[in-house]
Structure 1
Amino acid sequence: MVPHTVFRAVIMGPPGSGKGTVSARITATFGLKHLSSGDLLRANIKAKTELGLLMKSCIDQGHLVPDGVMSRLILSDLRGLGRTSWLLDGFPRTVAQAEALDKLYSVDSVVNLDVPFQTIKQRLTSRWIHLASGRVYNIDFNPPKVAGLDDVTGEPLVQRDDDTPETVTLRLKAYQTKTEPVLEYYRSKGVLETFSGTETNKIWPHLRAFLDKKLLAPREGVA
């Protein structure tokens, strides 16, 4: 299904809430262009663009990428899309970034995945990856055929440094501090829609039904 009019959305949720899986389903079902801030960040660093070098410097020093730099990166890519329906993932993460986005585009919907932190901790600390391919396994619901080894290559799986229990707790606290105000920002604008649950497959039908209605409803004033 492709929207008849331009539809612009943001997906939000804590790390490990299933944003990647849900984003893939939204883009496949509704034909939206998916823009991930993480993917853009890595691509610019790899290509050694001016912004990429600046962001790498921040990351290497253990600093957060400044709001202005992240906004320039994302908004530059959005301009290149023209009048296209899109789904933003990982941006905005601060109110300043949300305000920068609002100056150029009207956001039709902000989808918030509300997954209990305890569920996320269990999910992330059970996650193991095959570094070379990026294949992800979960001990609880998607285990490898042989414990500790990749199904395809048989090579050892590793746990990311940011998936250890201590780091996951810190990441979730950081999300609360930095991103909760963004949810309030969009709630005040009347575009925030929250979907709660512990399993992506149970959240998805409700989210799809919501988007079906949004995309079929006549809308005016698209920026």
Structure 2
Amino acid sequence: MNAPLILVADDNPEDLDLLTLAMQAAGFDVLQAHNGDEAEKLALEHHPDLTILDLRMPLKDGFEVAASLRNAGLPFISLSSYGEEEMVERATDAGSLAYLVKPLEADQLVPAVQAALRRADDMRHMKESMEQMDKALSQSREISMVVGILMERCGFTAIQAFDAMRDEARSQRRKIADVAREYFNAAEALHGMTRNIAERAREKAQRSQTKRPPKRGPARIIS
């Protein structure tokens, strides 16, 4: 398995080298960018697993680069010498997975990068699941119906319901459409049985009411 590729973008040569050494020591492959323009070009060319992006850089600042990375679906964390609340909010709104303030120690940077990589993987999985779900729902009425049934009965989100059904199909080595059709038919059969039982119970109750003798008042004595 290849090591994750980290793009480190910082216009300060000392900070860039420190960040690079810390990432390499942690087992990551590293690309270096010395300004915003270079960072954007390298990111779009190599698609790194994560970019560590200084927000204050020449040619293009970090926020401009962040917009390009977000449009390309490339995850990044922000790096700055400033910890003002406005900067943090701007970085978060731009899609940053974390905000780090320089100077940084390796024992701070590496856990933040590892956490960001895990979150980026989760986001990629979510996006892939949503795309697969949208395609499957548009092609199969049964899949759509079963997703709705699982959401109602199990309290799942649509993605959770689809993932559960897909996992079940994989465990049986079958197509998800076939598993959904089987589940849907079973649910329809159960619904039909329940409806029939309920109707018979209501009819029985109505017949009992019809056959019940009328209530009589107390006997009257006529003298």
Q: TM-score, normalised by structure 2?
A: 0.37
Higher relative helix content: 2
Q: Which has the larger radius of gyration?
A: 2
Structure having greater relative contact order (Cα 8 Å, sep ≥ 6)? 1
